[in-house]
Amino acid sequence: MRMSRLLAPTLREVPSDAEIKSHQLMMRAGYIRKLAAGIYSYLPLGLRCERKVEQIVREEMDNAGAQELLMSALLPAEAYQASGRWDVFGQSMFKLKDRYDRDFCLGPTHEELFTQTVINEVRSYKEYPMTLYQIQTKYRDEGRPRFGVMRSREFVMKDAYSFDMTQEGLDESYKKMYDAYCRIFKRLGLDFTIVDADSGAMGGSGSQEFMVKSPVGEDGIAYCDACGYAANYEKAQCIPEEKEFADGDLPLEKIETPNVHTIDELVGFFGTEPYVFAKTIIYKADDKYIAAMVRGDREINEVKLKNLVGCVDDLELAEPFMVREITKADVGFAGPIGLEIEVIADLEVANMKNFIIGANDTGYHYKNVNINRDFTPDRIADIRVITDGDKCPKCGQPIKTAQGIEVGHIFKLGTKYSDALGLKFTDESGEQKTVIMGCYGIGVTRCVAAAIEQMSDDNGIVLPVAIAPYEVMVVPVNNKEEEQMRLAEEIYEDLKKQGIEAVLDDRAERAGVKFKDSDLIGIPLRIVVGKKCGEGIVEYKLRTAEVPVEMTVEDAKFEAVKYIKENK
């Protein structure tokens, strides 16, 4: 490809709505352009990168024995209605009607359709185990589309589904996908961590996520360097911390606390530590209201809470007017004493003594509160967010925490969909049994963003050869110099002949501009033809190297081919 012909509209300015590095760079490097919130076009460079990620995913899926097929993104409602997810997805699902007023959706994920396909097409138990996959565009009307293609409303996902006759079979199919995922993310050059994930409302017996550690990740992950434990916050089990509280059974006191709402303000007012308070938060869980309590220095983990109460739709903070109605007080003074809704206390709250809570009376708190004497929670459970320094649930050593980008998710589904849709098989002895399923997703387009998020420098994108849009950039320093142009052309043609994806920067630009663009768009290797071209000497520079190396033309070509082939 010649730079003069390539649609690579690089930008010098950082687009104002791009908050994170990968989004900024993908825009600046001319990889993507925004059409609407969470909807993007892929320009040639972005598409090449995306296709390479797809291809790696495809090769490893095929190697693992999975079969590729392709389904529509436009899907009739029936299968989703049968599984119940037509409603469960709520606003996240793009729903539409055809001209006959029939319901359709744009597929957010395809468990139902794959289950249906297997029901229709598989004739004998002898065809199991079977793993099917597709690489296809998904649609989710995300509440907060952001970060470019990291969280978009249209994205490419690889989704695979395994079908087995036994639990052991599922374990094996799952392990194959686990191994394939490790190979995929390694080939993409990603530094990733595998964490135990929440199986949530999906049911199922096990689930793991592949996370790319990054401060911009939207998932919290807890890990232990001592024993290797790693889990998503949603799953990470919290061990209650022992704290010192005032001794004895002190009498309950109602204290006037005017204009004191937050934990910080309370700490100032009472002159004590945040852990001596318990906060009570009112939530709306589907159509009922509940109160959740954690220690003042802790946060509630809403996913744990949602799973605990079996909430199907959203769990959200109660509206202020409902908080007032339920607590008979302004927001900020909620407490468990006298509440008529269910009170769920965190495990740590159960260990507190003589602590402070809101009094359900505007401007008042209770002091010296004791559980079972002053109130009794309806349930006591682990509902808090794990933090740095918490004890590892496996080995007791201090936990560390980080943010992660979820690039892949593998899931032992069990029989949720086969039960809902009726996927059964008749075994050798004539007995009817339910097929056991697993599902396995990779966010292909998110992987592109995650790779750029993790692999870039001040000058731009630094992708590995395997997924960079092109492999080698050949740059004549001055294309008015005929000899330079001729040699650059020759190197370019020769590299192409040897199967290298080369670009020739034949534009009438200054060398500095050409170097900047080459770095910005993330070409892993650059060969510069300059003043010494008469002596047959060129500059060879890896994107990751500080400085170029001078080489003969022959050496440069040889080294380039070797480097690209070795790193593909």
Is 441 a binding residue for ligand ATP by CB under 6 A? The answer is yes
Q: Report helix, strand and coil shares of the chain as percent, to nearest 5.
A: 30, 30, 40
Least distance CB 443 / ligand ATP (angstroms): 2
Q: Which is nearer to Mg ion, 140 or 409 (CB)?
A: 409
Q: Which of 52, 35, 38, 68 has its CA nearest to residue 136?
A: 68
Is 446 a binding residue for ligand ATP by CB under 6 A? The answer is yes
Residue 266 pairs in a beta bridge with: none
| Assigned token pair, 42 | 């892929």
Q: What is the DSSP string of 104-141?
A: EEE-S--HHHHHHHHHHH---GGG-SEEEEEEEEEE--
Contact pick of 60, 406, 519, 539 for ligand ATP (by CB under 6 A) = 406
157 binds, among Mg ion, ligand ATP, none (CB under 5 to 8 A by kind): ligand ATP
Cβ atoms of 197 and 208 closer than 8 Å: yes
Q: Which is nearer to ligand ATP, 293 or 410 (CB)?
A: 410
117 binds, among Mg ion, ligand ATP, none (CB under 5 to 8 A by kind): none
- 253 three-class SS: strand
Q: Which is nearer to Mg ion, 367 or 409 (CB)?
A: 409
DSSP β-ladder status, 364-369 and 253-256? antiparallel
479 binds, among ligand ATP, Mg ion, none (CB under 5 to 8 A by kind): none
Q: Contacts with ligand ATP in 155-214 (CB under 6 A)?
A: 155, 157
Type of residue numbered 43:
L
Least distance CB 160 / ligand ATP (angstroms): 11
Q: Which is nearer to Mg ion, 113 or 410 (CB)?
A: 410
x/- contact string, 52-91, with ligand ATP (CB under 6 A)?
Answer: ----------------------------------------
Q: Report the chain's C-alpha Rg in angstroms.
A: 29
* Other beta carbons less than 10 A from residue 322's beta carbon: 13
The DSSP H or E segment spanning 564 is helix 553-567
- 453 three-class SS: helix
Is 469 a binding residue for ligand ATP by CB under 6 A? The answer is no
Q: Which string of b and e fits 50-65 if b means at least 16 CB within 10 Å?
A: bbbbbebbbebbeebe
Least distance CB 409 / Mg ion (angstroms): 4
DSSP β-ladder status, 502-504 and 472-476? parallel
Is 443 a binding residue for ligand ATP by CB under 6 A? The answer is yes
Is 525 a binding residue for ligand ATP by CB under 6 A? The answer is no
Q: Which is nearer to ligand ATP, 103 or 219 (CB)?
A: 219
| Assigned token pair, 109 | 């994920």
Q: Contacts with ligand ATP in 138-157 (CB under 6 A)?
A: 140, 142, 151-152, 155, 157
Is 109 a binding residue for ligand ATP by CB under 6 A? The answer is yes
Stretch that binds ligand ATP, among 269-277, 316-324, 402-410, 540-548 (CB under 6 A): 402-410
133 binds, among Mg ion, ligand ATP, none (CB under 5 to 8 A by kind): none
How many residues line the site for ligand ATP (CB under 6 A)?
A: 15
Q: Which is nearer to ligand ATP, 335 or 408 (CB)?
A: 408
Cβ atoms of 383 and 349 closer than 8 Å: no
Is 110 a binding residue for ligand ATP by CB under 6 A? The answer is no
Cβ atoms of 266 and 257 closer than 8 Å: yes
Q: Which is nearer to ligand ATP, 203 or 363 (CB)?
A: 203
Least distance CB 45 / ligand ATP (angstroms): 19
Cβ atoms of 308 and 257 closer than 8 Å: no
Q: How far is CA 125 from CA 164, 423, 501, 513, in A?
A: 9, 11, 46, 62
151 binds, among Mg ion, ligand ATP, none (CB under 5 to 8 A by kind): ligand ATP
Q: Which is nearer to ligand ATP, 233 or 289 (CB)?
A: 233
Which residue has the closest beta carbon to ligand ATP?
443
- Edge-first strand listing for the sheet containing 315-317: 315-317, 278-285, 288-295, 342-346, 379-381
Cβ atoms of 412 and 164 closer than 8 Å: no
Is 409 a binding residue for ligand ATP by CB under 6 A? The answer is yes
Which residue has the closest beta carbon to Mg ion?
409
Contact pick of 52, 409, 446, 557 for Mg ion (by CB under 5 A) = 409
Least distance CB 197 / Mg ion (angstroms): 7
Binding interface with Mg ion (CB under 5 A) = 409
Can you give the binding site for ligand ATP, defined by CB under 6 A? Answer: 109, 140, 142, 151-152, 155, 157, 406-409, 441, 443, 445-446
